[in-house]
Amino acid sequence: MDLHEAIETIPLKDWSEIEKFSRRISTRFSKMGWWNNKYYKRNPQNDGSVEQIDEKGRREIPYDRKLFWPSTGRFSLDSEPVAYFSNDFALNCCEAIEQYREKELSWEELNIYLNGYYDPTPELYGYPISIRLTPTASIFDLNNESFSFFDALAKVAHYPSKEAVLKNGILSKDQRAYPLTQGISMAVRDRGFDGLSYKSVRAPIGISLPSRNLVIFNPAIVLRDRW
């Protein structure tokens, strides 16, 4: 039995507790803005409404870009297309800028960037897109660490405790934890959810940001805004 299948064997009572909470919070999520930022090579115009070249050399119009791509990252679906968002623009910078993504970032460092005094990617220009969710979106929320779901998850994933599954799995930057987070996503998708919300592990140290990320499985729940 693989991890995805093992997670699906968690007892219904443990699923139902977090599902009940998720239904309530999904209504709140639909009223929030969610950010996705992508960086392109600088040019004299830097106009997000005309074709640009992204970091990988692909040509596209930034504000009309595809948001859903196959992924092998945290909470992905085994290379099926998903889209990642953050509910705070500053947090999304931590997620999207490579130089910030893998380091222990302080708020002072991030604030210098946000105020325009330092740019870790001077050759690139960012184009943020804001979206909202349809009122009927169903999002599985993993942010309440008191759920019994995590105790059950520790058992099926062979972690010694709930604390271990959170620290070394869900809240770990180590890619060796990806089979766990990806297994959760696949099980959640199979139970009919449109996406999954989880706590960011990229937020700056020493400050409390709204640290909620969102991975969306179902493009039909996305309502596009324009920056």
Instruction: Report the percentage of the chain scoring pLDDT > 90.
Output: 62
Pairing, β 195-199 against β 139-141: parallel
* 227 pLDDT above the threshold of 60: no
pLDDT, tens only, 169-217:
999 989 999 999 999 999 999 999 999 999 998 888 777 666 899 999 9
Please give the structure tokens belonging to residue 194.
Answer: 């449109």
pLDDT value of residue 209: 65
Q: Name the band, by pLDDT with cuts 50, 70 and 90, for residue 17.
A: confident
Mean pLDDT, residues 134-157 taken together:
91
State the greatest distance between any 2 C-alpha atoms of the chain, in Å, as a whole number. 58
Mean pLDDT, residues 136-163 taken together:
92
Domain ranges of the chain: 3-224
State the DSSP string of the chain. --HHHHHHTS-HHHHHHHHHHHHHHHHHHTTS-EEEEEEEE--SS--TTS-EEBTTS-EE-GGG----EE--STT-BTTBEEEEEESSHHHHHHHH-HHHHTS--BHHHHHHHHTTS--S-TTEEEEEEEEEE-TT--EEE---TT-HHHHHHHHHTT-SSHHHHIIIIIT---GGGHHHHHHHHHHHHHTT-SEEEEE-S-SPBTS----EEEEES-GGGEEE---
Which residues make Cβ contacts (< 8 Å) with residue 156, sequence separation at least 6?
A: 3, 6, 7, 9, 10
Cβ–Cβ under 8 Å, residues 29 and 139: yes
pLDDT value of residue 169: 93
Closest CA to 140 of 5, 3, 17: 17
Closest CA to 121 of 129, 133, 109, 113: 113
Please give the structure tokens belonging to residue 160.
Answer: 């010694």
